[in-house]
Amino acid sequence: MQRLSGVWVPLITPLVDGGIDLAGCRRLVEHYVGKGVNGLIPLGTTGEAPTLDDDECEAIVAATVEVVAGRVPVFVGIGGNATRKVVRTLKRLERHAFAGILSVCPYYNRPTQDGLARHFTTIAESTDRPILVYNVPYRTSVNLETETLLALARLPNIVGVKDSAGSIAQSLDLLARRPGGFSVLTGEDALFFTLLANGADGGILASAHLATERFVEIARLVAANDHLAARALWTPLAPVIPKLFQEANPMPIKHCLWRQGLIASPECRLPLGTVGEALARELDDWLPKLA
């Protein structure tokens, strides 16, 4: 398939009074397609997928695919730390016409590199859908090393990575050594411009829920080799990005979307709550600059 690129939004899951707001989900999908994003990812960790029931996941995938109607690719977050359960979930959801999956490295049980390779190989062999691997060691407590990822990239349907390695040296090494056609999409929101300028194909960015058109334009400008114009757009965005992760994602982003009237409630599902008063005030001060 064509190399994945540009700005992808890992969608939040709108909640109201403890339940999924499916109408809100549909509105958000239409909103971000209209803003020109290159792809959407429901059921990622930004979407609080570990807290969702199976029927809720089904409903979100069905609504997302229906509203998108083929206009952009949809990659569904399907991952976990029990390989057989991941495969079963994938098989259950495959009746929906999404393009591929984003699958996070197993968390908590800290497998070896061999265990990671076997985990993703098993998933890849269970489906013909394209797979983006998600490496985020500061959340999973295990780092998918570049050698392991490059070996996995030989599998025909492992097509790229959401790279949140937390190490710019590791990211640059991967960009220098990746095979042709293998997509590197950064998940390090604060490093979006830096990694684009060093050859990344795009980003899967929770912060792109806000100021979406500016993120899309930054990616377009870098792809057109107009790095100075891209940096001019990036510079005023950069200071707010740490604020969006100062408390647990997606609490700050949901607060902002609620303030903007894009969702009906800033509610998250326990164990997450809502942002504290001090951060809420800071975010409210920033919001006019993110319109």
Q: Residue type at 265?
A: S
Question: In the annotation, is 162 catalytic?
Answer: yes
| Listed residue (2, 5, 1) closest to 199, CA to CA | 5
Contact 215, 230 (CB under 8 A): no
- For 41, phi then psi, to 5°, come to -130, 100
Quote the CA–CA distance of 200 and 184 in Å, as a whole number: 5
Question: In the annotation, is 134 catalytic?
Answer: yes
Q: DSSP H helical segments within 178-250, as ranges?
A: 192-197, 212-223, 227-237
Annotated catalytic residue within 91, 107, 108, 134? 134
Quote the CA–CA distance of 13 and 16 in Å, as a whole number: 10
Quote the CA–CA distance of 279 and 85 in Å, as a whole number: 37
- Both tokens of 250, joined, read 């997606």
| Listed residue (97, 88, 95) closest to 126, CA to CA | 88
Q: Looking at the chain, how many residues does it have?
A: 291
| Listed residue (9, 5, 2) closest to 213, CA to CA | 9
Annotated catalytic residue within 35, 162, 243, 254? 162
- For 187, phi then psi, to 5°, come to -110, 10
What amino acid positions are annotated as catalytic residues?
Answer: 134, 162
